[in-house]
Amino acid sequence: MIAKAKSVKGSLAGALYKERPDKDHEIIYQNNMFGETAHERWEELRDIANLNTRLENKYIENVVSPPKEIGDQLSREDWEKLAKDYALKSGYGENQWYAVLHQNTDERHLHIYANRINFEGKNTIDSEKIGERSGKIAEELSQERGWKTAKEISSDKKADIRQCLENSVSSSRSWDQVESKMEEQGYVLELSYQDKNGVRTLNGARITPTEEYKGKEEMSRREQLSKKGYKLSEIDRNMKIKELDNKLKKNLEKSQNYGRSL
């Protein structure tokens, strides 16, 4: 599971974004709040936050995203418990916070918005290293539930991709063949080239599970920047595109020599 957190100034626009119709959202839980609309929730948060005139970033924005295969199976009650457990470990206590489930992407995820200011006007949530802490909390919650952590999931994916790529290269004579074999096994292989002094040179590759892949024309700007999949160096730092390319050339040469010997 992945969790991200940051302190923010907050705004009505930010609150409205979380509940846009295209987000296929659902309010999962509200703590010490009674608002029924995004406007009302923002006004409640702001009224309490304004009790503190010294702090600039008075809110915490969180995104909590379980692995797809788990998130797809969670009930509303499961999401509520996840939100409460995350908030408890994050130290929100009796402060105002609410959780919104977004279901418009491949991976269902929670947006949790918390007020750092309590009802006495005191800042009760330390923002130092909050992103790092949120990651550790996600790992703790994953372990408690028997879920794989983000690192474990990524490691498993990389191992599978490496095995698939190595097998495909070993049995191919061109990158077209490799791409086709990777596709058959559920991966999209994208090669990258560098143009220098009029010479086009292969300089890298990115491999993405087909279920996570979208063409650029289908992707939002945020999705394009997030770059699903892995570069070769991320799969294995010792895996080099030139070595794989040379392997294909040798395979081609062997097949040609064999054909001439017949």
Domain count of the chain?
Answer: 2
193 is in which domain, residue-wise? 152-261
Instruction: Say if residue 123 is in the same domain as residue 202.
Output: no
Instruction: Say if residue 13 is in the same domain as residue 142.
Output: yes
Instruction: Write down the mean pLDDT value for the chain.
Output: 89
pLDDT value at position 210?
A: 87
Query: In this model, does residue 97 exceed pLDDT 90?
Result: yes
Instruction: Say if residue 117 is in the same domain as residue 242.
Output: no
pTM above the 0.85 mark? Answer: no
The CATH number for 44's domain is 3.30.930.30
- Which uninterrupted H or E stretch holds 15? helix 12-18
Average pLDDT estimate for 99-105: 92
Instruction: Say if residue 131 is in the same domain as residue 164.
Output: no
Q: Which residues of 6-43 are buried (b: 16+ CB within 10 A; e: fewer)?
A: ebbebeeebbeebbeeebebebbbbbbbebeebeebbe
- Which uninterrupted H or E stretch holds 29? strand 25-31
Contact in structure between 114 and 62 (CB atoms under 8 Å)? yes
Average pLDDT estimate for 220-232: 60
Query: In this model, does residue 215 exceed pLDDT 80?
Result: no
Average pLDDT estimate for 19-43: 94
pLDDT value at position 199?
A: 83
Confidence category of residue 186, pLDDT binned at 50, 70, 90: very high
Joined together, the tokens standing for residue 200 give 């086009």
